[in-house]
Amino acid sequence: MTDAAPTGDAGPPPAPGLPPALAGHPDEHPAPGPGPALDGHPAPVLTGHPAPGERTAPDERTARRRFVVVTFLFWLPAGLASAPMVLLFTERGLALTAVAGVFAAHALTAAAMELPTGGLSDVLGRRAVLAAAGILDLAALALVALGTAAWVLTLGMALMGAGRALSSGPAEAWYVDAVHARSGPDADIRTGLAYGGSASAAALAAGMVLGGALPWLLGLGPDLGARLRETTSGLVLPLSVPALLGAAVYIAFVLYVLTALREPPRPRTTPLGVLRGVPSAISGGLRLGGRDALIRRLLMTAGAAGTALSALELLTPGRAAGITGAAESGAVLFAGLAAAGFVCSALGNRLAPAVARLAGGSERAVRVSLMASVGGLLVLAATVSSGSAPALVLTVAGYALVYLGLGAAGPSENDLLHRRVDASGRATALSVQSLALQLVGAGGGLAVGALPAGPLPWLLAAAALLVGALLWTRRPTPAPAPRPGAPTAPRPGAPTGAGGR
């Protein structure tokens, strides 16, 4: 479940009308001027005349609505396909070890392409890269649904990993670019980002429930599933239908991206220019943590959250099977818990602006939210050896609290991130954050899996997340000083409040 708009892509969504974060709090940093681009070229100096992007950018409410729709349409197919995927692969004749290898193709492709594709979005534009992600995912789900050979299924999962990498950041970067172009760098972005996080979590929850129920529903009454299998000579199984439905949703996603996510014209570029621009954007993204202490904290926090999510993914299915007494019924219970986790993550995203307002700023909101998740993991550790009814209630509550806290932390983390980078490297920065979550989470998952069953694996995950929370107990980090000789664009006359997500 690390794809659940977790902190990142996306991670990456409270009622409209909430006031922006209050100015004057020591841990709410005003946005620095656009500053130099990540590739070393100076950003254009702002003048009193509206820039092209400012004239063409939608208003804040429209931009937020389009961001939410794009986010929901992208993550709904992922939820649809995820619920029956393992069963579909085994139905095609793959052993569990082969299934693990197929999933590894997805993970390795996504990790390898994370930074290059983030840089591609900053060079070519958000809309083009998002549309390409949708097309790749459409092809991937078609191969997964209809493939009968292991190499076809592996190719489908690799394409899905490429689409996941391409989608990491462009939609959120488009939204922030649009709001900043229309209302300036002090505009409230936290609310929109919270809505986006809620949309991704809600889409995954709805997809998981629908994707798990469709094959079962096709077997009722006249048994449409059996007829479908017979008509297609076994090419389309009932377990294939959710993935095929997801492929159809991706068609709608691509069409909506191409028509709704308008951008100001970008400088014309050649294939050679793209090849030259992407490495510089990548190197700039990798330098982010080296020159900015706050971004280093954000990346380490993403890694801690990845460890916690990996632990939940590894440990919860076995715990669910232990509760129900059978693997099949445990799988059903785990699917329900997964959907509930996405709902709690969505609720946490919606509560993020209120948490930031009550806590006194984004940095304090991150600390409070992560501490809530730590509490949930400790509850899971404390109840792991008990099967009593009160312990089961506490187990579900702890599970929900983990996702609620991570969901509430995400918008405030990204609010801080967007105020430290400009449009020239925004998608790259989000890719670096996503990569930190995936890589550190994978290593943390290996460590959790190597520990003996019992409370110790849960305590390790809690300790990792506690370290991430304690990073935010330090004094607020000031904005980095401009690099020598790099001109910084003057800030337009804007409100002094550091509005945020």
- Return the amino acid letter for 487: P
Q: What is the pLDDT of residue 353?
A: 87
- H-type alpha helices, 325-425: 327-359, 362-382, 389-418
Q: How far apart (Å, rounded) are the C-alpha atoms in residues 427 and 114?
A: 10
Q: How far apart (Å, rounded) are the C-alpha atoms in residues 482 and 488?
A: 7
Whose CA is closest to 103, among 347, 313, 358, 268? 313
CB 414 within 8 A of CB 426: no
What is the four-CA torsion angle of 211, 212, 217, 220, rounded to 10 degrees?
A: 150
Q: How far apart (Å, rounded) are the C-alpha atoms in residues 437 and 440?
A: 6
Whose CA is closest to 153, among 161, 163, 145? 145
What six digits make up the tokens of 388? 């009593």
Half-sphere exposure in the Cβ direction for 487 (13 Å, CA): 8
pLDDT per residue of the chain (501 residues) written in tens, 0 to 9? 444 444 334 343 333 333 322 233 333 333 333 333 333 344 433 334 444 444 556 788 888 999 999 999 999 999 888 877 877 888 888 876 777 678 778 877 887 787 666 667 667 778 888 999 999 999 999 999 999 899 999 999 999 989 988 887 788 888 888 888 888 877 778 788 888 888 888 898 888 888 877 887 887 777 787 888 878 888 888 889 999 999 999 999 999 999 998 877 766 665 566 656 666 656 666 676 667 788 888 888 988 998 898 888 778 777 776 777 765 456 567 777 888 888 898 888 889 889 988 988 888 999 999 999 999 999 999 988 877 888 888 988 999 999 999 989 988 888 888 888 776 667 677 777 877 787 787 777 778 777 887 889 899 999 999 999 999 986 555 555 444 433 333 333 333 333 333
Which distant-in-sequence residues (6+ apart) come within 8 Å of 366 by Cβ?
Answer: 301, 409, 412, 413, 416, 469, 472
**DSSP letters for 182-240:** HH-TTS--HHHHHHHHHHHHHHHHHHHHHHHHHHHHHTSTTTHHHHHHHHTTTSS-GGG
Say how many Å lie between the first and final Cα of the chain, rounded: 23
Q: What is the pLDDT of residue 497?
A: 31
Phi, then psi, of 9 in degrees rounded to 5:
-60, -25
Q: What is the pLDDT of residue 2?
A: 41
Q: What is the pLDDT of residue 274?
A: 60
Helix (H, G, I), strand (E, B) or coil at 292: coil
